[in-house]
């Protein structure tokens, strides 16, 4: 068994931090559903601004609110406006990740979805593990387009 990325929100901006709340991270339910994040699912959070990394669980926020609120101890790791990467993972075999085609959402100001990306994993003609990064419309993206 290996651990694979299952869903990712890339560049979501923190809209709040509530040290005294009992939850963990509250994310707009529409954004969660679009990426495939489930309520109470554990996720990794990486702060692009500070380098902080943490693990916590997802609470669904108000649909359409575009919220990303760090709660409890997690509130100490981010400032409002910081860009974060939120990724969920799944344990399985290569065939399992190939079957789920992980979804990635990128964001622009206001936490509006900029791009919808799909990681396609497959065996190439030689039988080797391979992948393609595509927009949800099927258009291929070069890896350099994602890391620039």
The model's pLDDT over 89-140, given as tens digits with 9 standing for 90+, comes to 999 999 998 899 999 999 999 999 999 999 999 999 999 999 999 986 555 5
Q: What is the DSSP string of the chain?
A: -EEEEEEEEEEEEP-EEETT-SSSEEEEHHHHHHHTPPTT-EEEEEETTT--EEEEEEEEE-TTS--EEEEGGGGGG--TT-EEEEEEEEEE-HHHHHHH--EEEEEEGGGEEEEEEEEEEEE-TTS-EEEEEEETTS-EE-HHHHH-
Mean pLDDT of the chain: 91
Q: Specify the number of domains making up the chain.
A: 1
pLDDT tens digits, 2-56: 999 999 999 999 999 999 988 799 999 999 999 999 999 999 999 999 999 999 9
Distances (CA, A) of 13 to 2, 8, 18, 32, 39: 30, 14, 15, 14, 19
CB 94 within 8 A of CB 121: yes
Catalytic residue set: 24, 57
Report the pLDDT value the prediction gives residue 138, as an integer from 0 to 100.
Answer: 55
pLDDT tens digits, 104-115: 999 999 999 999
pLDDT tens digits, 43-68: 999 999 999 999 999 999 999 999 99
Which residues, other chains included, contact 140 with Cβ-Cβ below 8 Å and sequence gap of 6+? 132, 133, 134
In this prediction the pTM is 0.88
Q: How confident is the model at residue 144 (pLDDT cuts 50, 70, 90)?
A: very low
Report the pLDDT value the prediction gives residue 22, as an integer from 0 to 100.
Answer: 80
Main-chain phi, psi angles of 135, to 5 degrees: -75, 165
Is 56 one of the annotated binding-site residues? yes
- The residues pairing with 83 across neighbouring beta strands, listed in sequence order, are 13
CATH number at residue 81: 2.40.40.20
Residue 44 lies in a domain: yes
Report the pLDDT value the prediction gives residue 140, as an integer from 0 to 100.
Answer: 57
Residue 129 lies in a domain: no
Main-chain phi, psi angles of 53, to 5 degrees: -130, 135
Residue 23 lies in a domain: yes
Domain range for 55 is 2-90
Is 35 one of the annotated binding-site residues? no
Residue 13 lies in a domain: yes
Residue 138 lies in a domain: no
Residue 130 lies in a domain: no
Residue 72 lies in a domain: yes
Q: For 63-75, what is the mean pLDDT? A: 96
Residue 117 lies in a domain: no
Is 110 one of the annotated binding-site residues? no
Is 73 one of the annotated binding-site residues? yes
């Amino acid at each position: 068994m290996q651990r694979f990325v299952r869903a990712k929100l890339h560049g979501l901006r923190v809209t709040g931090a509530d040290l005294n709340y009992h939850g963990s991270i509250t994310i707009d339910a529409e954004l969660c559903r679009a990426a495939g994040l489930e309520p109470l699912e554990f996720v990794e959070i990486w702060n692009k601004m500070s380098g902080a990394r943490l693990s916590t669980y997802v609470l669904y926020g108000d649909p359409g609110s575009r919220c990303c609120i760090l709660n409890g101890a997690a509130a100490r790791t981010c400032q409002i406006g910081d860009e974060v990467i939120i990724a969920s993972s799944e344990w399985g075999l290569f065939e399992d990740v190939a079957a789920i085609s992980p979804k990635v959402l990128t964001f622009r100001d206001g936490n509006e979805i900029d791009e919808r990306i799909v990681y396609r994993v497959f065996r190439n003609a030689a039988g080797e593990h391979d992948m393609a990064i595509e927009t949800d419309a099927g258009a291929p993206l070069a890896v350099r387009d994602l890391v620039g």
